[in-house]
Structure 1
């Protein structure tokens, strides 16, 4: 192990326990949902769903996540990190995948979106399962590994492209959703078998034994005080909200804009997230560890916002071809992917790391549940707003994301709050 020089690769090989179980099963996300997500938007368009309705579904999904996110902390404490992750992964992913596979109209997508919101419960429990037994000094590396593991999935994107080219968009996407149902269900059982309940999780289960969910929810008032009086928690919440809103808009409309505005054909759509993911993995194992190796995370955060902003502005500036995408279109999309891949990768890792570094360890599940609820409430309107903008001009949602990234730059530059790890030996901020 000691002969492995790359710090991220060394951390991967040294992982044990729940950290290894969570990270090593994460590529299965790519063999399932990541194969189908590049087609989610155009699949809905092909079934007659309008841009405004797609944006509305994104907002409804976010509001569903708000409800489940608020319940996530008390459910995680009550049922334990391990069992909650298994039960709610089945509900949030396996069930909606079956609905999406056979969907015919807006109402089927609406039902699936409402159920899919339950993933916020498992996001809370899975996060706790991942990090509660991991040393704080290793948190940024662990989150980098999680993101890199998820990105590896893009290597399988040609499978989706071949299916779409062979059978057409709608039949192929239905098959991909059925595949996602099978693989995600298998992931749930493998993770449950490999993992164990965390020490903090066992303690919280004992403390909440015999306590009703409603009483636990009322106790959120005390937890809310921990958040309000923590500048670091408020700051990390704001950064996470900005990143979350940008990710929501891009995840909903990026494939639509390159397909409907820039003339990229359907079979090529999965190759763009594949290239972005490959670039992200390269960055995770090369540049990102160097930028985040020190205790001060402000500079890499600023760089991440700047890079992501460049990618969004390039996307808006690409000239609309007369018909199919031209060579110039693809070159500019390549530049966009390069900037997006680095910016999105480092910001996703840093946003989650900042939350974990600032959070109260003993109240992790409930504090993170409230944080996620607030973040989702803040980001929910952007699904509908971006759908409304896309209905007028499909490039306009990315003017919105550009403005959000400028806001992120200002927050990181002027309102940075240091973590415990950023305090130097003399006790002054690093």
Structure 2
């Protein structure tokens, strides 16, 4: 008898997830009740406490440099402690503790301390990625990363909670409460993920191989791992794509809310609705257009489309006229179009950048190769926080001229230097079931 199953490949993957993949994806929406409530206000909160544009950009760069250090150590830590324990310990260090610092922050120095500690999230990013995909079929990896993106985007549905708090309590007091809330929810997320996961097969092998071996000895072995990366055209190409996407994300995450608030006159209370709408649109795209574009063997065309659409959104943002005072109807209409373009462009590029790295990585050295890859990407993207802060201090539109230039570079790299992936997949495996 023919067995009924969801026709949409994303739904099929979601329902079919088991073990670590299921626990990792199913706990992702908890971001919505924690960090996603507060992130739309993070930069504006810093401005309210007397931190200026150049300092905000500097903090973004310092955070990235902290991530470089932790990212370099992440492979060794993940191999020695195991994927599961590393994820739990460093989620507490990177998110739970900084949330308290942000909640109590008084000036630039508090944010500096939190930024340095928060850089430890690169360790858990490595271990969490391994926990997520090591026991998942390779053909399912792009869809699994799509589900992760969807889970994160659904979290924006909770944005009105933040808006109500800001309208009733004012920006500063509301954001402090939101950071305390994030402290509690992130602690719960850490426990749930630890409770419902097990160590991966590769993780158990690496823990056995690294038992009794010093950290310094393991770090010295990175030279051999570096050779694996340098000899792989696919890995180098995926690094270039990830670096461009990462730099654009850094600038947008830091200054998008600032420019619409300070330059285009959008009031504080409305700020969280913009990422909410962007996220809902992104979810819609992930269940409709994006699976149709990315289900086949060849990912070059969707990558080019993603860069082109994202570029259009960034240029449109720069072109929106600044109103006299508060934002007017035409401002919101143009911002809505920006959100539409960004939701698709950023969404598909995030999924493709992560998937390309995962698909090209050496399976047996995943944690250490990904550690070096992330470190390389962060070293390249780190200066863009400071550069965009410097540009924003002169003109708040200029950071987005910078991102537009980066996206043009991404288009050129993807068009001229594409390296084919999915060699191990047959067309039948790649088609939606």
* Fold agreement, TM-score > 0.5: yes
For 1:410-421, list aligned pairs within 5 A. 410-421=412-423
Give the distance between the partners of 1:332 and 1:369, measured in 2 at CA. 40
The equivalent residue for 1:279 is: 281
Residue 423 of structure 1 deviates from its aligned partner by: 7.5
Give the distance between the partners of 1:129 and 1:420, measured in 2 at CA. 21
Alpha carbon RMSD of aligned pairs, Å?
Answer: 0.9
Give the distance between the partners of 2:293 and 2:422, measured in 1 at CA. 18
The equivalent residue for 1:100 is: 102
For 1:13-412, list aligned pairs within 5 A. 13-412=15-414
TM-score, length-scaled by structure 1? 0.98
Residue 3 of structure 1 deviates from its aligned partner by: 2.7
Give the distance between the partners of 1:46 and 1:2, measured in 2 at CA. 55
TM-score, length-scaled by structure 2? 0.97
- Contact kept, 8 Å, 1:296 with 1:422, in 2: the verdict is no
> Could you give the per-residue CA deviations for residues 401-422 of structure 1, whole angstroms, max 9, x where no partner exists?
0000000000110000011338
Structure-2 change in CA distance of 1:422 and 1:329 (3 Å)? farther
Give the distance between the partners of 1:60 and 1:300, measured in 2 at CA. 33
Gaps spanning 5+ residues in structure 2: where?
Answer: 428-433
Residue 31 of structure 1 deviates from its aligned partner by: 1.1
Residue 424 of structure 1 deviates from its aligned partner by: 7.0
Give the distance between the partners of 1:421 and 1:354, measured in 2 at CA. 12
- Contact kept, 8 Å, 1:295 with 1:422, in 2: the verdict is no
Give the distance between the partners of 1:373 and 1:20, measured in 2 at CA. 28
> Could you give the per-residue CA deviations for residues 205-239 of structure 1, whole angstroms, max 9, x where no partner exists?
00000000110000000000000000000000000
- Contact kept, 8 Å, 2:139 with 2:425, in 1: the verdict is no
- Contact kept, 8 Å, 1:275 with 1:337, in 2: the verdict is yes
Give the distance between the partners of 1:86 and 1:17, measured in 2 at CA. 16
Structure-2 change in CA distance of 1:152 and 1:347 (3 Å)? same
Structure 1 residue runs of 4+, over 6 Å off? 422-425
Give the distance between the partners of 2:330 and 2:422, measured in 1 at CA. 47
Structure-2 change in CA distance of 1:424 and 1:84 (3 Å)? closer
- Contact kept, 8 Å, 2:313 with 2:339, in 1: the verdict is yes
Residue 142 of structure 1 deviates from its aligned partner by: 0.2
Give the distance between the partners of 1:90 and 1:308, measured in 2 at CA. 33
The equivalent residue for 1:428 is: none
Residue 2 of structure 1 deviates from its aligned partner by: 3.6
SS at match of 1:421: coil
SS at match of 1:420: coil
Residue 19 of structure 1 deviates from its aligned partner by: 0.2
SS at match of 1:211: coil
Gaps spanning 5+ residues in structure 1: where?
Answer: 426-430
> Could you give the per-residue CA deviations for residues 380-409 of structure 1, whole angstroms, max 9, x where no partner exists?
000000000000000000000000000000
Residue 5 of structure 1 deviates from its aligned partner by: 1.2
SS at match of 2:77: helix
Residue 313 of structure 1 deviates from its aligned partner by: 0.4
SS at match of 1:29: helix
- Contact kept, 8 Å, 2:87 with 2:124, in 1: the verdict is yes
> Could you give the per-residue CA deviations for residues 20-72 of structure 1, whole angstroms, max 9, x where no partner exists?
00000000011100000000000000000000000000000000000000000
Structure-2 change in CA distance of 1:276 and 1:422 (3 Å)? farther
